[in-house]
Amino acid sequence: MSQTQMQTSSRAAATAAAPTLEVRDLQTHFFTRAGVVKAVDGVSFTVGRGKVLGLVGESGSGKTVTGFSILGLVDAPGRIVGGEILFHGQNLARLKEEEMRQLRGNRIAMIFQDPMMTLNPVLRVDTQMIETVLAHTKVSKEEARQRARDTLGMVGIPSPDERLKSYPHQFSGGMRQRVAIAIALLHRPELIVADEPTTALDVTIQAQILAEVQKLCAETGTAMIWVTHDLSVVAGLADDIAVMYAGRVVERGAVSEVLDQPLHPYTHGLIGSVPSRNKRGEKLRQIPGMTPSLLSLPPGCAFRTRCPRAQEDCARDPALSELLPGRLARCFHPHVATHGSAVQGSVTQGSPA
């Protein structure tokens, strides 16, 4: 990446219109009997109109809880304990449940990691979709049915007419997932949080859905948060990427820059584990050690016990800092760019949470 390109991208970012969503220092904790689980502990990112943010990271690092927080779906013993979720400038964390219900499924939608969270097992798929349409728009039942049918066609469900009359358990895993995606798309929302939406789909159907998603973002300006473990999908779909580890964003930036030149050692390790980056049949590279328990994180950098670059000063807590223009990472000893451009910013110590 050349210096000029970097300047252009940061200038573009500066002049962009107000983002659809801005999350600032979000903290969502679970107060369990065993102690406080800091599932999300200082997450910040923005998603602009028509943009896709790829949210990746360690399993259990808080991606789903972040999504639930945005949609106001965190249940006891969990609670948002800090930070702001600004949707067109309005703080969702402060909304009353009734106001949130008006937004949910209409202007903001979520595609759940588990499609059965969207689908009611005892209702036929047509009943569920028609009810969703009627809940937020005044149209006739026939128009609602037509809309449901069209949307199922978009996600590649064949002969939607007959299929609509089935119950969820009569669908394969991937078909259930596509119905859940279709339900999220019904109202062409301004923001979609998609949690692992295409992992259950084969690559041709995945491509079909990604094509529809791209069309939706371009035509209606829908902003997307795309949670996934598939870095190849992020590479092809997203504009920006945020990498999470142990409840925090540890790296953020434009997709091409982060994937080509990860700064944070965790991101580096993650990319190294992708099977296509390993020799067939040989042991895959894995990050040594185990995810620390969120109940008892060691002080300092949470990645410290597993990090090949760790030094003594990592016992302090690194803040998310801009190390290169538009490139943020939470690390005292980041991988330095190989093309000569040295890390410019300096990392400050984060405020203890």
Partner 1 sequence: MSTTSTVRSAASVAAGEAAAPIIELRNVSKRFSKKLDFAGKIAQKLGAPVKDETVHAVDGVDLVVRKGEVVGLVGESGCGKSTLGRMVAGIMPASGGEIFWHGRPLNSLSGAEARHAKLQTQMIFQDPYASLNPRMRVADIVGEAPLVHGLTRRAEWDAYVDNQMRRAGLDPAFKRRYPHQFSGGQRQRIGIARALAVQPEFIVCDEAVAALDVSIQAQILNLFMELRQELNLTYLFISHDLGVVEHLSDRVVIMYLGRVVEEAPAEEIFARANHPYTQALLAEVPRIEARKKSFAGIKGEIPSPLAPPPGCHFHPRCPHAFDRCRVERPALKEIAPGHKSACHLNDKVA
Ligand X SMILES: Nc1ncnc2c1ncn2[C@@H]1O[C@H](COP(=O)(O)OP(=O)(O)OP(=O)(O)O)[C@@H](O)[C@H]1O
Alpha helices (runs of H) in the chain, residue ranges in sequence order: 3-15, 63-71, 97-103, 125-136, 141-154, 160-163, 173-185, 203-220, 231-237, 255-260, 265-272
The three state secondary structure string of 46-106 is EECCCCEEEEEECCCCCHHHHHHHHHCCCCCCEEEEEEEEEECCEEHHHCCHHHHHHHECC
The span of 79-87, 134-142, 167-175, 183-191 binding ligand X (CB under 6 A) equals 167-175
- In the list ligand X, Mg ion, ligand SF4, none, the entry touching 331 (Cβ below 5 to 8 angstroms by class) is ligand SF4
CA distance 159 to 289: 49
Q: What is the DSSP pairing of strand 327-329 with strand 191-195?
A: unpaired
Q: Of 170, 220, 311, 344, which one interacts with ligand X (CB under 6 A)?
A: 170
Q: Of 82, 174, 345, 350, which one interacts with ligand X (CB under 6 A)?
A: 174
64 binds Mg ion (CB under 5 A): yes
5 binds partner 1 (CB under 8 A): no
**Binders of ligand X among 213-272, rule CB under 6 A?**
none
Nearer to ligand SF4, 75 or 312 (CB): 312
User: How long is the chain?
Assistant: 353
202 binds Mg ion (CB under 5 A): no
Count, residues near ligand X per rule CB under 6 A: 22
- In the list ligand X, Mg ion, partner 1, none, the entry touching 277 (Cβ below 5 to 8 angstroms by class) is partner 1
- In the list ligand SF4, partner 1, ligand X, none, the entry touching 188 (Cβ below 5 to 8 angstroms by class) is none
Count, residues near ligand SF4 per rule CB under 6 A: 13
Q: Of 35, 173, 236, 289, which one interacts with Mg ion (CB under 5 A)?
A: 173
Place of tokens 């400038």: 89
55 binds ligand SF4 (CB under 6 A): no
For residue 318, the 8-state DSSP code is: B
- In the list partner 1, Mg ion, ligand X, none, the entry touching 71 (Cβ below 5 to 8 angstroms by class) is none
How would you classify residue 289: left for phi > 0, otherwise alpha for psi between -120 and 50, otherwise beta? Answer: left
Strand partners, 224: 52, 192
Nearer to partner 1, 47 or 103 (CB): 47
Burial readout 221-254 (b: 16 or more C-beta within 10 A, e: otherwise): ebbbbbbbebbebbeebbbbbbbbbbbbbbbbbb
Smallest separation (angstroms) from ligand X to the CB of 170: 4
Closest Cα to residue 136, out of 95, 86, 188, 177? 188
258 binds ligand SF4 (CB under 6 A): no
328 binds ligand SF4 (CB under 6 A): no
Angle value at C-alpha 122, between 117 and 126, nearest 5 degrees: 85
327 binds ligand SF4 (CB under 6 A): no
Convert residues 104-123 into a mask of x (bound to Mg ion by CB under 5 A) and - (unbound): ---------x----------
3-state secondary structure of 282: coil
Burial readout 30-43 (b: 16 or more C-beta within 10 A, e: otherwise): beeeeeebbbbbbb
Closest Cα to residue 163, out of 128, 194, 196? 128
- In the list ligand X, partner 1, ligand SF4, none, the entry touching 101 (Cβ below 5 to 8 angstroms by class) is none
**Binders of partner 1 among 166-185, rule CB under 8 A?**
166, 170-175, 177-178
Smallest separation (angstroms) from ligand X to the CB of 56: 9
Binding residues vs ligand SF4 (CB under 6 A): 264-265, 301, 303-304, 307, 309-310, 314, 318, 331-333
